[in-house]
Amino acid sequence: MRVLVVEDFEVLARSIGTGLRREGIAVDVVLDGSDALVHLGLTRYDVVVLDRDLPGVHGDEICRQIVSERCESRILMLTAASSVKERVDGLRLGADDYLPKPFDFAELVARVRALARRCTAPLSPTLEGGGVTLDPSRRVAFRASRRLELSPKEFALLECLLSAGDRVVSAEELLQRVWDEHADPFTTTVKTTIRRLRTKLGEPPLIETVREAGYRIGGPS
């Protein structure tokens, strides 16, 4: 999952970004509306966490542009304004959900995950492949009856591969979906994380390396 946080109060913006990353979510953080539009033009985001009162380009205008371009990104609008009318106005602009400040971080995470599920094709509550069962909502994964102790990045990477079914997922796509804009495109982090994940999955091998193409859930590498 890839999320864009657009919030001009830097302390809050960085806090949201750090918290979401701890949940295994790839996050980019921007502090004004103009920068948000640049990012939206370059990257496909599952969810945009959007403050309404922004410098540069107002949050309302960003919301309008996302909707008018029929972008798949879901919008969670944040604002200190909490009246019913203001919430209704935000939803009329095209926001998918609305969360007034101050908010509980656990609720923010739950709403982001719920919106991300809506921006993709419907999936079963659990993902399965090669004897592995992964439950995205409970954040647990098992192989046979053994629970897998995975880091947030390992879990997100496994989720991405299982969601793809038989499709080969390139290292570039994994880097974009599981990490964020600060990830070095020339880094070996995908290969390193795949290696750690393979070790934790155990035998028989589950993740197949497709030469010069990427990875998929299959068989021996």
Provide the residue count of the chain: 221
Predicted TM-score (pTM) of this structure: 0.65
3-state helix, strand, coil in the chain (%, to 5): 40, 20, 40
Measured CA to CA, the distance from residue 28 to residue 86 in angstroms comes to: 27
- pLDDT for 203: 87
The DSSP bridge pattern shows strands 2-6 and 47-51 to be parallel
Q: What is the mean pLDDT of the chain?
A: 85
12-29 pLDDT per residue, tens: 999 999 999 888 888 999
Query: Helix or strand or coil: residue 81?
Result: coil
Residue-range domains of the chain with CATH: 2-118 (3.40.50.2300), 127-217 (1.10.10.10)
130 phi/psi in degrees, rounded to 5:
60, 30
* Position 5, amino acid: V
Residue 149 pLDDT greater than 90, yes or no: yes
**How far apart (Å, rounded) are the C-alpha atoms in residues 160 and 168?**
11
Beta strands 74-79; 97-100: pairing state: parallel
Measure the CA–CA gap between 75 and 14, rounded to whole angstroms.
19
